[in-house]
Chains A and B, each alone.
Chain A
Amino acid sequence: MFHGIGEEGQRKLGQGKVVIIGCGALGCNIANLLVRAGVGKIRIVDRDFIEYHNLQRQTLFDENDVKNQLPKAIAAMKHLEEINSLVEIEGIVADVNFSNIEKFCSGVNVILDGLDNLETRYLINDVSLKSGIPYIYGGAISSFGMTMTIIPGVTPCFRCVFPNIPPPRTMPTCETDGVLGTATSAMGALEATEAMKILVGSDFINRDLITMDVWDISFERFPITKKEGCPACSGRYDFLGQKVKIIRSALCGQSRAVQVVDTESEGIDLTQLAGRLTGVTNMTYDEYMLRFDVDGCSIIVFPDGRAIIRNTLDESAAEKLYFKYVRT
């Protein structure tokens, strides 16, 4: 048995509870490794469904998942249960935002980052500091990766290091610049290792900003320090407090798609919606999503009340379609 864990550590892993926010490439690798490591309870939250172009890097999924049109959180749960039946796995299909993130993070020992956008990371940072739950940030794009571990009250937080969030659409996405599956695998492995160290109470928890490039083979760590006057560290949770009714966002993993979320929605009965839709084509639905085509777009509606509008990047047009056909 590995000396850093030992029998006592393995027992602690078995008692550990983690949440993985996002189950794309990072999330798949993190979940796979933590299930195999025997972490007791793993909650996986993701808003998306699986497409063929995800398979290059999202290592839990296969072609059958695409054919079956499964949400990532559900497909991940099914595959992970076959890997280690001793682990309790909870797959949740949802968009993570201010209205639900505290619920998703409640009762866990560690929050792991499998996200594809910065906005939600600032939100997690707020929740981590407010709740005292450690947060492991990780990101990857192209051949690059970056990670830091946030221990509330001890280490600098994400906002200490990156105080200003770049404006929407200014940052590259996996869609615009691509990402090597080996980069996301390497970063997922680092995040999973940090989670294990936190769960077993190791003294070797990362205190630095780690950067990596798998193509030119560089791996570096840079010391980071708390920012004087950091709002989040001072108890001002700006991102958690940004309450808006409608959230519109372009999706990283989708070639041209906008997600529209009504944060006040209590959910939608897909069968009822299917029954009242008129003037749409190619409609199909199951317990996870309802799909139809209209006005040159494909619309996917989820039971939590949100929709993904494909074949557009126009957020206003997407919101209009949402209110015309989904939230009528």
Chain B
Amino acid sequence: MASVTVKFNGIWRLYVGVGKAALDADVIDEALKLIEKEYAPKFEEKLRDRGVKLDGGILKHSYVTLNRKSIKELKERSLKDGDVLDLFIAIPGG
């Protein structure tokens, strides 16, 4: 298992309540499942507080990078200690 840091950037920080978190996983997709399991309920709870019901989680709306590279581009899916996953969602305000 690799110890990985997950950073919730911008709006995600508002919605899940933390800016970063640690998790242990061997590969990217395993880390993403853990993120969804742990934090999607927090997102949905926040929306419920605002009177909106949504099932569907975090990752569908996220741009995700591993060590600043889009995970879509990465053929190597294994993780190592110290890796950083960043999650972004488009900022709507202005």
User: Are the CB atoms of A138 and B94 closer together than 8 Å?
Assistant: yes
User: Are the CB atoms of A26 and B70 closer together than 8 Å?
Assistant: no
User: Are the CB atoms of B93 and A116 closer together than 8 Å?
Assistant: yes
Chain B proximity of A148: nearest CB distance (Å) = 9
Chain B residues, Cβ within 8 Å of A115: 92, 94
Is B75 interfacial (CB-CB < 8 Å)? no
Stretch at the interface among A8-16, A95-103, A167-175, A286-294: A167-175
Chain A residues, Cβ within 8 Å of B86: 222
Q: Name which residue of chain B comes closest to A137, CB basis.
A: B90
Count of residues in A whose CB is under 8 Å from the partner chain = 46
- What mask results when residues 108 to 130 of chain A are scored 1 for a CB within 8 Å of chain B, else 0? 00000111111001000000000
Mostly, the A contact residues are mixed
B9-45 contacts to A (CB < 8 Å): 9-11, 13-15
**With A170-B54, A209-B63 in contact, is A224–B70 under 8 Å at CB?**
yes
Chain A proximity of B71: nearest CB distance (Å) = 11
Chain A residues, Cβ within 8 Å of B52: 167, 169-170
- Centre residue among B47, B54, B65, B91 by max chain A CB count within 10 A: B91
User: Are the CB atoms of A146 and B88 closer together than 8 Å?
Assistant: yes
Stretch at the interface among A32-40, A48-56, A176-184, A235-243: A176-184
Chain A residues, Cβ within 8 Å of B50: 169, 176
Q: Looking at the complex, which one of A162, A177, A223 makes contact with B90 (CB distance below 8 Å)? A: A162
Is A283 interfacial (CB-CB < 8 Å)? no
Chain A residues, Cβ within 8 Å of B9: 144, 211
Q: Looking at the complex, which one of A22, A211, A225 makes contact with B94 (CB distance below 8 Å)? A: A22
- Centre residue among B65, B86, B94 by max chain A CB count within 10 A: B94
User: Are the CB atoms of A171 and B63 closer together than 8 Å?
Assistant: no
Chain A proximity of B7: nearest CB distance (Å) = 10
Count of residues in B whose CB is under 8 Å from the partner chain = 28
Is A305 interfacial (CB-CB < 8 Å)? no
Is A70 interfacial (CB-CB < 8 Å)? no
User: Are the CB atoms of B10 and A146 closer together than 8 Å?
Assistant: yes
Distance, CA A142 to CA B60, complexed state (A)? 23
Chain B proximity of A305: nearest CB distance (Å) = 25
Chain B residues, Cβ within 8 Å of A158: 90
Distance, CA A173 to CA B8, complexed state (A)? 18
Is A273 interfacial (CB-CB < 8 Å)? no
Chain B proximity of A175: nearest CB distance (Å) = 9
User: Are the CB atoms of A222 and B65 closer together than 8 Å?
Assistant: yes
Chain B residues, Cβ within 8 Å of A223: 68-70
User: Are the CB atoms of A162 and B61 closer together than 8 Å?
Assistant: yes
User: Are the CB atoms of A141 and B92 closer together than 8 Å?
Assistant: yes
B40-94 contacts to A (CB < 8 Å): 47, 50-52, 54, 60-61, 63, 65, 68-70, 72-73, 86, 88-94
Q: Can you report 7 residue pairs joining A to B where beta carbons are below 8 Å apart?
A: A25-B94, A116-B93, A118-B92, A140-B94, A167-B54, A179-B93, A225-B72
Q: Please give 6 more A-B residue pairs, beta carbons under 8 A apart, in addition to A172-B15, A177-B93, A211-B10.
A: A22-B94, A116-B92, A138-B94, A144-B13, A161-B90, A174-B93
